[in-house]
Structure 1
Amino acid sequence: MKLSIQSILIFLSVAVFTTTAYYSVGFFHADEHFQILEFIGIKAGWNTPNDVVWEYHTQIRSSIQPSIAHGLISIFKLFGITDSYTLSFLLREVTGLTLIFALVFFYRNTNHLIQSKKNPQNNNLLKYLYLGFLLLIWYVPYLGVRFSSETWSAIFLIFAMGCFCSQNKTPRTLIITGFFFGISFLFRFQIAFALIGFGIHQLIFGTQKLKTSLSIIGGFLIALLVGIFIDRWFYSEWVFTPWKYLQTFLHPDPTINFGELPWDYYLNRMFHLPTKLIGTLLFLSLTSTLIFKGRSPFIWMILSFILIHTFIGHKEERFLFPIVFFFPLFFVQFFQLLIDYIPKKVALALIYLTTLGILTTSIIGLPILASTSAGLGRNGITHFIHQNYQGRPVNLITMPYSNPYAPWFRGENFYLDKNVSFNYINKFEELDSSRIKKDTVNLFVTTRLFLDTYPRRENIQKLGFKLIQQSVPAYKLKMDNYVREIDDQQVTYLYELKK
């Protein structure tokens, strides 16, 4: 049986996503762990309310994702799967496969938007590039397997826009669109910034505005109602978490300071983080879409999302993640405009050169991210300890903010191995023979910051500790500068006492 190019791209993406899900141990941002996996522990038994972060007590987080995770983990355990790292891999795998399904669904309902009417003979090229970019641009599998609120919000936003762009819309399709919008909102409330842009677009350009709007709003309200019942189960009382979150946003706790970044932070990140090549293509694509396809709901959603985030002082690159999966649509629409408005040979030359650049970037980036622990790789260290020292007592001597099980003195009970005990020191001078335990595996962990900054690091070698693992391998750390940015001062180094 001869496979089509589309089938090959889908099968390849499944392989890449699965590989990435397996090796991408841990989390990109702390919220991905502490507000989901640790929240589950309240229902599953490994945590009490006193063990989790303050967001649980203020009830400002929708419980839809912890509840889904709790259900999935319960199912996995029925099949005898209890290892924490295997469970988290399966959560990432489910996330990745669900995103692939969403992206293929989105592709099938939106590929008519990138077809050239002036040069239809090039439409197959545009379609193959579109699907390939959607599934396999270097950052997509890495972000696509994150069991985070950003990724799951993106998944349902993709489903929603896939439904909305269907060429055979019915009232039922519009209700489902609204429902998916609502579920996307429950995963991450800030997706409302994109929905505001969508709503404004509908008010200006929408057809059958009242009927369409009522159907979408109806579906959205159904999703909110589902969220209320889920929160009632999780928090054991009736609570409307979006309202609680809004109150906290409008009246923040003065003792909690997240910091503020300049207004152009997101513009800077969008240009640099996906590599300057893709960043340049992104800005050209958004600008051309705004000029030539200004009636597109996507440009209104994306610009609204970015603009409103720009006015909020607390900024993080992950806040952009829910919209990055839409960027390939803008890329290929830009290609289509090139084919339609400039000489064909020049257009195709530019498209081939740009695609070659993206392909080269992805050939470098995909293997790095597919074989590296997430974020700063701290859970790669805990996974290494878990795999190599099971059943043996471990004395983990740790410098401040270096403990991979509790990098901010907040314990990761989900991954905690009972055979590991902690021995905290504040400086290298305290690393002496009194810290060593007999008949125990003695490990020492620190970060690059202490190794570069603090004196007496020679104590590590004098006692007989040898480097056995680091959270980001040296060669990957060097290559990483070309595809993403890492604070190498926070890279973790694990040493073992060799007798």
Structure 2
Amino acid sequence: MLFGEFRETIRKDKTLRLLLLASLIVQVITCITAIGIYHPDQHFQIIEFSSAQLHKPFGHVWEYDAHIRPTLQVYLFSGYRLFCGWIGISDPFTQMTVLQVVFGLALFVLYNAFALWYFKDGDRRTLYWVVFILNFSWWIPYSRTLFSSEMLSSLLFFWGVWIYITRRPGWLLTLLVGFLFALSFYVRFQTAFAIIGFGCWMLIFEKRYWMVLPMAIGFALGFALNVKLDYDFYHQWVLTPYTYYKVNIIEGTAAHFGTSPFIVYIGELCGIVFAPPISILLLWFAFRAAFVKKLSDPLSLPVLLFIIGHCIVAHKEDRFLFPILSLMPILIGWGMPDMIRWYETRRSGFRKWIKGIAVFSLGLNLLVLVLFFFTPYCQALHFAVQVKREFRGRPVTIYTVPRSPLETDGHLPFVYYQEGVRNFTWNKLSVVDSLRYVGNGAEYITTTYNDVKDRKHLLDSLGYERKICSSPILWGLNTMLQGMGINTINDVWVLYEKKGR
């Protein structure tokens, strides 16, 4: 019934229909071009754990021995790999592209459904802007491609919220909601901040106290299932929420990776929810609306407590905010009426200034969004795909300085992806100068801009020419930055070929 209403709303509104179609195209393109990972944890704590579970070669990480990684997402990915093998998709790069498309579209549908739910009966301009910001913010479509603990927990938690607020369910569906909350918690423990926020909303504003019991039962069932999954994976009883808290908080392991002040996340939200400086104004009115006028809404407390909770935790990374990024346009939509009234009461000169800022931010946002289509965030794995296509399965020996694109900066191997390029033989050299002693055997060399920027003349003298670059845009930008004496961008890869080979 609800989606029938949405379909009717979209059918009657041509502007909304075109906007959603363009949004879908942007999301699909981003899913296809965003090969690779955002953070090593996305790979090593899910994919390499899956390889260990399936008795395949895997890259060993310390979390495996510490038993702090919950394994629900590992099981899901292992099941996906087995399914891909069953239907004949064996190439790891293809497997990940398909997963990104499916996962990205699931998140796309869920969050656009929230936008339609909240704004379909109000001012159409607000709905258009919410949908636009939700799908055309330069970072948000990319964040939805990541099969990471942050984004899967977001999908599970807000799927549960969606069921609850749109259906006002009875006992059975409420039990399902509690079960989904438990799964989201076990995928990423910090989701507890949002779960507590939703529980506070139920008790303070909704006051359906009799629904607490079935939700608690559902949560307990989900919790028990995950304890069993962890036991089967680690072959011993382990309570991963406790071990995670013990290692990262009590023993302070997380703090060893850096700490940041309380307000850092506010600045990061201003940078990744649309483009500054207009994003600052949008978020100001959004938070004011969420704290004052919309505090009784079921989304407000989960989102606000999630942000506040993460601000309190000492170790901060921008990816920790990803679970609520696609909900921020909803809060922005709540604040838009107040922002418009505020804007209309300003003097004409000030309004022109604000309009100029908005046009600048809009142009900057769209420019960076388009650049993301052609310049994936993970340059190393994107480059590996380019080289793989170049040689098309032919055996080839490539000299690498000082590491291959299938390794991290710390030389941890992406074993999963190495399975897709078995025809490659990597010969490592510590520095570019070592090429002097290799002789004519080094037909191909791969390295990064930063590792070769001061030794390009050596490569020219040895008869090498650039064949493939992970990003011509970033390569040109680095050349300009180097000429200006400014630090260059790391991880821009290049393949050199011996002339006249």
Give the TM-score taking structure 2 as reference length: 0.84
Counterparts of 2:81 and 2:232 in 1: how far apart (Å)? Answer: 17
Q: Is the 8 A contact 1:109 1:163 kept in 2?
A: no
Specify the alignment match of 1:70 in structure 2: 78
Structure-2 change in CA distance of 1:359 and 1:175 (3 Å): farther
Alignment partner of 1:33 out of 31, 43, 60? 43
| Equivalent position amino acid for 2:463 in 1 | G
Unpaired runs of at least 5, structure 1: 117-122, 480-485
Alignment partner of 2:417 out of 412, 415, 418? 415
Specify the alignment match of 1:374 in structure 2: 377
Q: Which string of whole-angstrom CA distances, capped at 9 and with x for unpartnered residues, describes residues 54-98 of structure 1?
A: 112222112122211221222222221111111110111111121
- The equivalences for 1:313-462 within 5 A come to 313-338=314-339, 360-375=363-378, 377-400=379-402, 402-407=403-408, 408-416=410-418, 417-434=421-438, 436-437=440-441, 442-452=443-453, 456-462=455-461
Question: Alpha carbon RMSD of aligned pairs, Å?
Answer: 3.3
Q: Which string of whole-angstrom CA distances, capped at 9 and with x for unpartnered residues, describes residues 136-182 of structure 1?
A: 33322211111111111111222122223226443344333322222
| Equivalent position amino acid for 2:25 in 1 | A
Matched, 1:15 2:25: yes
Counterparts of 2:112 and 2:148 in 1: how far apart (Å)? Answer: 21
Secondary structure of the corresponding residue to residue 468 of structure 1: strand
Specify the alignment match of 2:267 in structure 1: 268
Secondary structure of the corresponding residue to residue 310 of structure 2: helix
Secondary structure of the corresponding residue to residue 166 of structure 1: helix
Counterparts of 1:253 and 1:336 in 2: how far apart (Å)? Answer: 44
Counterparts of 2:475 and 2:452 in 1: how far apart (Å)? Answer: 19
Specify the alignment match of 2:484 in structure 1: none
Matched, 1:194 2:190: no
Structure-2 change in CA distance of 1:344 and 1:262 (3 Å): closer
Please report how far the alpha carbon of residue 332 of structure 1 lies from its aligned counterpart in structure 2 after TM superposition: 0.8
Give the TM-score taking structure 1 as reference length: 0.84
| Equivalent position amino acid for 1:100 in 2 | F
Unpaired runs of at least 5, structure 2: 1-10, 479-486
Q: Which string of whole-angstrom CA distances, capped at 9 and with x for unpartnered residues, describes residues 168-221 of structure 1?
A: 44334433332222222122111112223333344433312x323323322222
Specify the alignment match of 1:91 in structure 2: 99
Please report how far the alpha carbon of residue 23 of structure 1 lies from its aligned counterpart in structure 2 after TM superposition: 1.3
Counterparts of 2:253 and 2:282 in 1: how far apart (Å)? Answer: 41
Matched, 1:42 2:52: yes
Matched, 1:464 2:463: yes
Counterparts of 1:173 and 1:359 in 2: how far apart (Å)? Answer: 41
Counterparts of 1:358 and 1:477 in 2: how far apart (Å)? Answer: 24
Q: Is the 8 A contact 2:248 2:254 kept in 1?
A: no
Q: Is the 8 A contact 2:73 2:149 kept in 1?
A: yes
Q: Is the 8 A contact 1:25 1:380 kept in 2?
A: yes
Counterparts of 1:134 and 1:385 in 2: how far apart (Å)? Answer: 34
Q: Is the 8 A contact 1:368 1:476 kept in 2?
A: no
Counterparts of 1:37 and 1:7 in 2: how far apart (Å)? Answer: 37
| Equivalent position amino acid for 1:381 in 2 | F
- Which stretch of structure 1 is more off in the superposition, 289-298 or 24-33? 289-298
Secondary structure of the corresponding residue to residue 495 of structure 1: strand
Counterparts of 2:23 and 2:361 in 1: how far apart (Å)? Answer: 16
Specify the alignment match of 1:154 in structure 2: 154
Q: Which string of whole-angstrom CA distances, capped at 9 and with x for unpartnered residues, describes residues 262-314 of structure 1?
A: 33321221223442122431233112332333333433223322222223232
Question: How many residue pairs end up in the alignment?
Answer: 475
Structure-2 change in CA distance of 1:78 and 1:175 (3 Å): same
Secondary structure of the corresponding residue to residue 89 of structure 1: helix
Structure-2 change in CA distance of 1:153 and 1:419 (3 Å): same
| Equivalent position amino acid for 1:284 in 2 | F
- Which stretch of structure 1 is more off in the superposition, 386-395 or 359-368? 359-368
